[in-house]
């Protein structure tokens, strides 16, 4: 069992079961509404991502607050990445750029783009945990998505972060038509954070 800020995750009969937990500090009626809406939204985002060509777990809402998903038999990218040789890392960076471009082209903002939320299965890259995601066409939201990814790379993969980032952004720019606007906003987010 894994416990996150929003949910408890269990492996049950070969499937991943994610249950949104009650928050004692919220009014019960409000808590129920928020949990139900976020669960429904996450399943919807997974389906939208799949239609966009992104590899995600099969998922269904099996209760008001429960999502049952297929278990992807692969390795968390966070664990796999540092042990790879440089050409493999470069290839994976390109895949990340493609995936983020596909999500953003479909107006999906993941909300927690980290290598912990990506699984490598053979040569295929899967994205998981859309629990903080939403639908947005705003360049600012997509730039924030990218900024979180950049911070995650700096934190978990410092030695290769710059090389990875360069390849991610180059691929993203090639694959997403609105990339120039998003990258421009990303620059302003970086400046705001630097001078905080």
Helices (H), the chain: 28-51, 77-81, 86-105, 139-156, 161-175, 179-194
Q: CA-to-CA distance for 181 and 177, rounded, in angstroms?
A: 9
Catalytic residue among 31, 107, 112, 141: 112
State how far the Cα of 66 lies from the Cα of 20, in Å rounded to an integer: 7
Q: How far, in Å, CA of 71 to CA of 12, rounded?
A: 10
How far is it, in rounded angstroms, from Cα 149 to Cα 78?
A: 12
Assess contact for 20 and 6: CB atoms under 8 A. yes
Tell me if residue 107 is catalytic. Answer: no
Rg (alpha carbons) of the chain, rounded to whole number: 17
Are the C-beta atoms of 130 and 111 separated by less than 8 Å? yes
d(CA 53, CA 27): 39
The residues assigned a catalytic role are 112
């Amino acid at each position: 069992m894994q416990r996150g800020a929003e949910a408890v995750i269990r492996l049950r009969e070969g499937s991943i079961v994610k249950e949104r937990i009650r928050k004692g500090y919220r009014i019960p009626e409000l808590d129920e509404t928020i949990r139900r809406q976020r669960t429904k939204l996450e399943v919807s985002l997974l389906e939208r991502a799949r239609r966009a060509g992104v590899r995600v777990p099969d998922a269904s809402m099996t209760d008001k607050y429960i999502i049952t998903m297929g278990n992807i038999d692969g390795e968390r990218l966070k664990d796999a990445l540092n042990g790879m040789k440089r050409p493999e890392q470069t290839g994976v960076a390109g895949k990340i750029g493609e995936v983020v471009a596909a999500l953003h082209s479909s107006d999906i903002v993941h909300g927690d783009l980290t290598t912990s939320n990506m699984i490598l299965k053979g040569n295929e890259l899967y994205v998981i945990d859309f629990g903080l995601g939403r639908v947005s066409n705003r360049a600012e939201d997509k730039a924030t998505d990218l900024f979180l990814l950049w911070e995650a790379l700096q934190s978990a993969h410092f030695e290769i972060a710059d090389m990875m980032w360069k390849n991610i952004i180059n691929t993203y720019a090639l694959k997403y038509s609105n990339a120039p606007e998003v990258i421009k906003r990303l620059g302003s987010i970086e400046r705001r954070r630097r001078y905080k």
